[in-house]
Amino acid sequence: MSDQIESILHEARVFPPPAEFSAQANVKAEDYQRMMEKAASDHVGFWADLAREKISWHTPFTVTLDDSNAPHYRWFSDGQLNVSYNCLDRHLAEREEKTAIIFESDAGDVTTYTYKELFDEVGRFANALKNLGVQTGDRVIIYMPMIPQAVIAMQACARIGAIHSVVFGGFSAEALKDRIHDAGAKVVITADGGRRGGKVVPLKAAVDQALESGGHCVEKVVVYQHTGEAVEMKATRDLWWHEAERGMPDYCDPVMVDSEHPLFLLYTSGSTGKPKGIQHSSGGYLLNAIITNEWVFDLKDEDIFWCTADVGWITGHTYVAYGPLALGKTIVMFEGVPTYPDAGRFWQMCERHGVTVFYTAPTAIRALMKFGDEIPNQYDLSKLRLLGTVGEPINPEAWMWYYRVIGKERCPIVDTWWQTETGAHMIAPLPGITPLKPGSCTLPLPGIDAAVVDEAGNEIPHGNGGYLVIRKPWPSMLRTVWGDDQRYVDTYWAKFNNRYYVAGDSARRDEDGYFWIMGRIDDVLNVSGHRLGTMEIESALVAHEQVAEAAVVGRPHEVKGEAIVAFVVLKGEIPTGSQRDALVQTLRNWVAKEIGPIAKPDDIRFGSNLPKTRSGKIMRRLLRAIARGERITQDTSTLENPQILEQFMQK
């Protein structure tokens, strides 16, 4: 892999934290020192202390880390708790009237929920789920717009120990179906539709389509009435959210579960066709969710925290639905898109709600940066005190724009590296302490033993690229791939004999030990901060009746990070002219239908075969070069069929 991990960035600028920020930060230099020392000398004790301090346990744990069946680690395994209790009940005495959620709809209407109101909503809906027969351990699919009911549904599941799996509302019926089947879900919670950028997203119709072919265990579909559009309701299967809640009391006893009880599954792309159900625990997950909101986002009681991620992604779990609520803080939720009604929407909302801590993705920053400084300059952004990014490496130019135009050179930027699998931030600055370098996620958090290693698993000298690994278990690590322990071991542990967690990213450290993420080493693309497996898109293409074979690669893209390029071999002749254009459109729409619009190839090329080695392996290296429009300088002597490169070079 050495050719792809040459270090790419040479960024010399350093931004130390402003003194006023450091003075008020949750983590100060002396705390950091103490934590780093404790974690180094007693890794397990470090986590035990935090778990006792931050979580309200029903039954305190006595075993901190059980590594007897590594890499199936278990944390706080004899402890019992309820995550929803930790997010709601425990705040009532002090924060009943405090705002938990400020929600702004696509159209701009604002609704707020206090902690007491949210507590009642969650209790009522949890009772409704129980009444429908949902029991501890049952799987519930949540396919919702980005509205408070999505969080209420997640919290209600947590309250009764049901395992939720949120499916991003932008995924298609096909993708939803796969997840419903794989999770063995008993109930699906959805809405009639969502609204994004003035358009209605018909969610209920997608659920109907996903369930149509049968072969699943879904007994009930609960539909929240949100847009008021007409939807079909199946008499014995479907019921409205408000009907399900009729007569239900507001209070629902939280079910105390073992710390290892799965809180949720979240499907993510891997390097094979089938998405993996990443399984997270209750206690361990909650702990890292809490501490990272406290340490990295520096959340205070007065803060208004807006993480723009949808609850369909891990970021929307840890930094919307769970972490900030477990800390009793106020969050903003937004149903719409950053460019509707215009590209000032984010900044207008920051002004309107007095957002103090703002967390978004580099792709959004790049997209908004293109509209210039005038738009953000029209809004009062003076309440902002801290900015964050996640999802992909941020290019220094976008970092500087964010820093200068949004943060007015006042706000530190926390560039947070983590994954669906890690549950919470792993490598990220502590905003009161860590000097920032644009484009680097800086240093591992206390208790996180991240390293860059070579093929043999040895740490690499600073300056060179290698595999990003985590060498010690941490509480919010994934527990397994749902229903597939072997895939868990093979994907994340096998490479270094189960000693290290393998993130699937390459990285290098600079002379200060700072981490610079260089990208994925597996066949996973990062399109607008969303992970998409090339295999997943290939399987979708091959499922089309005209397609014989397909290979998908990424190409750098100014806004999206990566664009998707598909190389397709057809069963019949390659069409020409307008027929060719029509087929390209058909295939693009086909992939959107199979997976979701985010997976639509930007570019489709046809050829009579894929470039393969004599042993039949697809030469993705070559395809990547073609996708980038580069001249082929690589050795093609191992290629079975060199002439087809010419075909693929034609658009």
Q: Which residue in 391, 446, 465, 554 binds ligand WTA (CB under 6 A)? A: 391
Please identify which residue in 292, 360, 419, 442 interacts with ligand WTA, judged by CB under 6 A: 419
CA distance 357 to 297: 7
Nearer to ligand WTA, 128 or 452 (CB): 452
**Closer residue to ligand WTA in complex, CB, 273/575:** 273
Q: Exposed (0-12), middle (13-18) or buried (19+): which is 18, by Cβ within 10 Å?
A: middle
Kindly state the smallest distance separating residue 10's Cβ from ligand WTA, in Å.
17
Among 155, 526, 528, 534, binds ligand WTA (CB under 6 A): 526
Which residue in the set 125, 346, 402, 418 belongs to the binding site for ligand WTA (CB under 6 A)?
418
Binding of residue 395 to ligand WTA (CB under 6 A): no
For ligand WTA, the binding residue among 415, 523, 536, 594 (CB under 6 A) is 415
In the beta sheet, which residues pair with residue 612? 618
Residue from the set 87, 146, 183, 390 that interacts with ligand WTA by CB under 6 A: 390
Separation of alpha carbons 624 and 611, rounded Å = 11
Q: Which two tokens stand for residue 308?
A: 């723009």
| Comparison of 161 and 423: residue with beta carbon closer to ligand WTA | 423
Question: Rule CB under 6 A: is residue 356 a binding residue for ligand WTA?
Answer: no
Write a three-state SS string for 450-463: EEEECCCCCECCCC
Per CB under 6 A, does 104 bind ligand WTA?
Answer: no
Residue 319 is a binding residue for ligand WTA (CB under 6 A): no
Residue whose structure tokens are 């970021």: 315
Q: Which residue has the tokens 């934290």?
A: 17
> How near is the Cβ of 606 to ligand WTA at its closest, in Å?
30
Q: Please report which helix (H) or strand (E) contains residue 537, including its range.
A: helix 534-542
Rounded CA gap, 141 and 163, in Å? 9
As a whole number of angstroms, the distance between CA 444 and CA 425 comes to 9
Residue 517 within binding range of ligand WTA, rule CB under 6 A: yes
Q: Which is nearer to ligand WTA, 161 or 275 (CB)?
A: 275
Q: Does 506 bind ligand WTA (CB under 6 A)?
A: no
Interacting span for ligand WTA (CB under 6 A) from 98-106, 310-318, 347-355, 364-372: 310-318
623 token code pair: 């395809």
Q: Is 601 in the site for ligand WTA (CB under 6 A)?
A: no
List 196's β-bridge partners, or say none: 199
Q: CB of residue 33 vs ligand WTA: minimum separation in angstroms?
A: 25
Of 35, 441, 502, 587, the residue at the interface with ligand WTA (CB under 6 A) is 441
Long-range contacts of 598-602 (CB under 8 A, 24+ apart): 598/170, 598/527, 598/528, 598/530, 598/532, 599/527, 599/532, 599/536, 599/537, 599/540, 599/564, 600/564, 601/537, 601/552, 601/564, 601/565, 601/566, 602/555, 602/557, 602/563, 602/564, 602/565
Find the Cα–Cα–Cα–Cα dihedral 401, 402, 408, 410, rounded to 10°. -130
Stretch that binds ligand WTA, among 312-320, 554-562, 583-591, 631-639 (CB under 6 A): 312-320
| Amino acid occupying residue 380 | D
# residues near ligand WTA by CB under 6 A: 22
Binding map of ligand WTA across residues 241-270, x = CB under 6 A, - = no contact: ---------------------------x--
* Residue 520 sits in the site that holds ligand WTA (CB under 6 A): yes
Q: Strands, E, within 328-397: which ranges?
A: 330-334, 357-360, 386-390
Which residue number, 115 or 359, has a Cβ lying nearer to ligand WTA? 359
Nearest approach in angstroms of CB 520 to ligand WTA is 5
Residue from 283, 312, 344, 393 binding ligand WTA (CB under 6 A):
393
224 forms bridges with which residues in the sheet?
A: 191
Residues within the interface to ligand WTA (CB under 6 A): 268, 313-315, 390-393, 415-420, 441, 503-505, 517, 520, 526, 531
